[in-house]
A and B are shown apart, each in its own frame.
Chain A
Amino acid sequence: MSKKVLIVDDSIYMRSLIRSALEEAGLEVVGEAKDGETAIDLALDTQPDLITLDNILPDMMGFEILKVLRDQGLESKVIMISAVGQQTVVNKGKELGASEYIVKPFTSEALIEVVNRVM
């Protein structure tokens, strides 16, 4: 059975890019969210194996979403994907429970390599 993934990013372009890469790698995308509130609802509803999580969303930061999901007991693997690449931010993401933090831009190959390492 293919692994289930939820994509969280405010950009339709980025969601489309990530979806193509993941589907090509044989993963099942169970949902897309462009804001934090939708992301939390979808994550709790679909219980994905993996969440790709942008850190800057219109209504909240990825960090906050991650914290809410962990507080709710969701154990999905999380890969943060963001243009924000300061080392302190990357470290904070990992401290909050993200398995990896990818700084944009990235190639599809690099994303899949990280996904395979995390799953």
Chain B
Amino acid sequence: MLDKLNENELEVASKLVFDGLSMAKKSMEQILQSPISMEKVDYSHGKNVPLPKYQPNDDQSVHVIKTNLIGELKGTSHLIFSEDEVAKVFSACLPASIIESDSAESKMMKMGFLTEMDNMMAAAVITEFSNFLGLEIYGHVPSLEVVKASEVNNYLAKQSGEFDAIIHFKAIFKGKELDISPDFVWIFQEEFVDKIKNLV
């Protein structure tokens, strides 16, 4: 469906996500209390574009945090961390007493931290869309699923079933205490494309 956008319109859609991620970077800096840089390393769009990082034979666990859009535009955002990245995030952001504990409460705190991080990052991008498109859209309460890396692309294909447009971003967030490159996958309904077309 994004194929319906011409180069100029696609540029706008891409810029909105990237500007949102730049705001998300600021959120991460506040969480870490330390400066980080962000670099866009990969971008793709269209339907059923597999993420190259997740191979069919990869047995690693992957954390997929999903946020549904609510309001005047429907869609979902996905923030995807590898196991290694999750460990780095915890190490940079949480106290050792939580990281090292296996208690039910510590596990809930760790998962709660990841979903809260997604909440802030998704909200930053949603705010860009909301302001640009003049629409009331918000991210709902995020949910987290741990899936095998080999299943990520099937998972996303299933998620995109009812929607039409997919934007995938990969960005490197790098700072003194953190070096991660999560994937961001945005799935929108066709109306998103129409709105962009109307405004560009």
Q: A residues within 8 Å of B by Cβ?
A: 10-14, 16, 55-58, 82-86, 88-89, 104-107
Contact = CB atoms under 8 A, between A and B. Distances in A.
Interface residues of B, number: 24
Contact of A56 (B27, B108, B124, B141): B141
Given A13-B109, A57-B141, A86 B130 contact: yes
B149 to A, nearest CB: 25
B112 interface: yes
B139 interface: yes
A13 B115 CA distance: 9
Nearest to A58: B141
Interface in B118-154: 119-120, 122-124, 126-127, 130-131, 136, 138-141
Q: Which 5 pairs of residues, A with B, have the shortest CB-CB distance?
A: A13-B112, A83-B123, A105-B30, A12-B112, A13-B113
B112 A11 contact: yes
Given A12-B112, A13-B109, A84 B30 contact: no
Contacts of B113: 13
